[in-house]
Structure 1
């Protein structure tokens, strides 16, 4: 549907702005881009975690495991970002409403908007339950939220923060937990910001192949690109999921390479070259904090392998473009 007010300057958003305020209009597009790409990347992460857990459970069918059942997703905060993220996960992944829980100060409102998703206000309870926990709260709220979560988090719970104002090292201190990922966007890389204002509903935009392609974590032309170290941290997170259940390192490499259509070509040297692993030994727990702040062996491998970067980009598009609920 066309916008009837598009050419009516008196009804446009910009009409009431001063000259100084008009100079900040580009921030609206950057905000839309960050929300779109942030949710898309979180969906990508959930898809990978869901798939690797399925593979791990097949290997550990007759063993006790720390990863029972389906991937459990927790969201702290139901402001604009939290709501968009929830709707995207429901629409673009195989994770069902019964495996998503939300902690928010107004659970009665959130529950009406998303039937089947349990909403309450208890951050500690959510942290104890979730396998992956998204922090969609304001930076000023993080100390209180982290204090609630800290004594309840399980070792294998992956905490993902969208707050750019709080560095990952500070999050580790606040949480007392070292399995933490943080969005790392380079906003300056967004050379065509207006494209992100095209869709008012994020789920609609996530059905547009061109926007999915532009939001790719390794894109450098249209989106607020992510640091390559973020991609390394995601891959190390998948390795850690396998380590949680003591999966042999060769099987871990097989499953992760298979997840990327056997084109990733990860080996022991690219993941953890300092380790001397026996045949049936699992990888050691790998610090995703180091992966986000230092140049790890995997980072060096990815920097020097354009084909691997292209493989990751291809899988990203493949995981986001088709809707699992559309058939």
Structure 2
């Protein structure tokens, strides 16, 4: 409970001069941006965890009988996702809370590196390792969230670049540093960076004090956070969607999964049917090789071979086969919305079906 809820004179707004009140909308916009950033990072981790779990289930099924008769020791939770956060400020703390509660990531699978680990007492009590050693975190994590200031980023990149595995996904919230600059600083291509823009009309549905974890359990706010939904005046660049799909394929390639099985896994993820699909599911996405690689390459790629390793920087900055064939498809966008809400535990009714904009958000 907020002790200041009923004490207006001690709240922020009464201290603002009348001529400056026109800027109060920025408070809601800031909170909305924070909610969206945490929501999309959580969705990505949920998607990746789900995919890794499916990958390991398929791989371990071949030796399950051997494990049962005791010829091999049982393995630890290999499908678990190790997540590191660099930066323990407001964003880093909010992100850690959301990942812990909504993915959920076990405390032993989450680490935070910050210059002031002593300020993260609440997380240390939960069993999260909080320390100041960026390179150690980089060598341990499968996913790293950069929640630092732009001025701190060059030094951080110097510290972690030698420790980054090729398969580690770096997810940057540092809006002031573009993707190509990040690529050069880290000498790394497995990087995701969401880009947000503000629409002309701003409908403050976000509030200013609502807890972010609670906000992501609210069906109205969760739907507003869906990648293709411009509600609330904050729009996510659609190339982020491409980035997470190609990152998923890279995860399959890491495990040497044949491309045919990788496509099957993606199709299973997006197979949630809803009323508009029709009984036969004709409009459901059914990904093919040529959705992700060129037709010429697809003809030469054996179904038993893994996908090639994709440069996520190029995926987010250039047109891809997916851009041309799937990204603006209404069927794909609607299925992504259902997957998004479903991973947060919310099923959409027909009345809650998203209204997809006639033109996709700016790329």
For the criterion TM > 0.5, the same-fold answer is yes
Deviation at 1:197, TM superposition (A): 1.4
> 106, 120, 125: which one pairs with 2:136?
125
SS at match of 1:281: coil
Compared with structure 1, are the counterparts of its residues 226 and 238 closer, same or farther at alpha carbon in structure 2 (3 Å cutoff)?
same
Shift of 1:198: 5.4
2:231 maps to: 221
Q: Is residue 2:285 matched to residue 1:286? A: no
1:156–1:292 Cα change, 3 Å: same
Instruction: Give the SS at the match of 2:144.
Output: strand
CA contact (8 A) 1:230 1:291 kept: no
**Which residue of structure 2 lines up, in the alignment, with residue 16 of structure 1?**
15
Query: Residues 99, 312 of structure 1: CA spacing in aligned structure 2 closer, same or farther, 3 A cutoff?
Result: same
Question: Residue 231 of structure 2: SS of its match in structure 1?
Answer: coil
Query: Which runs of structure 2 are paired with 1:163-174 in the superposition (5 Å)?
Result: 163-174=174-185
Shift in alpha-carbon separation, 1:284–1:246, aligned structure 2, 3 A: same
Tell me how far apart the structure 2 counterparts of residues 230 and 4 of structure 1 sit (CA, whole Å).
41
Q: Which of 96, 100, 118 is the equivalent residue of 2:110?
A: 100
| Alignment correspondent of 2:163 | 152
In structure 1, list runs of 5 or more residues that go unmatched.
323-327
Task: Report the Cα offset of residue 18 of structure 1.
Answer: 4.0
Residue in structure 2 matching 1:84, options 86, 94, 98 = 94
Q: CA deviation at 1:170?
A: 0.7
State the 1:25 CA deviation.
Answer: 2.0
Distance 1:182 1:33 in 2: 18
Q: CA deviation at 1:11?
A: 4.8
TM-score, with structure 1 as normaliser: 0.90
Aligned pair in 2 of structure 1 residues 213, 223: CA closer, same or farther (>3 Å)?
farther
* Matches of 2:198 and 2:258, distance apart in 1: 39
Give me the whole-angstrom Cα distance separating, in 2, the residues matched to 1:204 and 1:161: 24
2:31/2:208 contact within 8 Å kept? no
CA distance in 1, matches of 2:247, 2:112: 23
1:190, 1:116 → 2: CA distance? 43
Decide which of 308, 311, 314 is 2:332's aligned counterpart.
Answer: 308
- Which of 197, 209, 232 pairs up with 1:186? 197
Does structure 1 retain, via aligned residues, the 8 Å contact 2:145–2:172?
yes
Residue of structure 1 in register with 2:67 after alignment: none
1:108, CA displacement in angstroms? Answer: 2.4
Structure 1 residue 225 displacement after superposition: 1.7
Q: CA 1:88 to 1:189, structure 2 compared with 1: closer, same or farther past 3 Å? A: farther
Q: What's 1:204 paired with? A: 214
Question: Mean Cα displacement is larger for which, 250-259 or 20-29?
Answer: 20-29
Q: Does 1:272 align with 2:293?
A: yes
Please give the secondary structure, in 1, of the residue aligned with 2:170.
strand
Contact 1:146 1:174 in 2 (8 A): yes
TM-score normalised by length of structure 2: 0.81
Change (3 A) 1:155 1:187: same
SS in structure 1 opposite 2:232? coil
Quote the Cα distance in structure 2 between the aligned partners of 1:90 and 1:189: 34
Q: Secondary structure in 2 aligned to 1:133?
A: strand
| Counterpart mapping for 1:226-237 below 5 A | 226-237=236-247
Task: State the partner residue of 1:249.
Answer: 259
Distance 2:200 2:105 in 1: 32
| Mapped partners of 2:154, 2:177: distance in 1 | 10
* CA deviation vs aligned residue, 1:75-132 (integer Å, no higher than 9, x gap): 0111110111001011101321111111011212314335111111000000000000
DSSP 3-state at the match of 2:183: helix
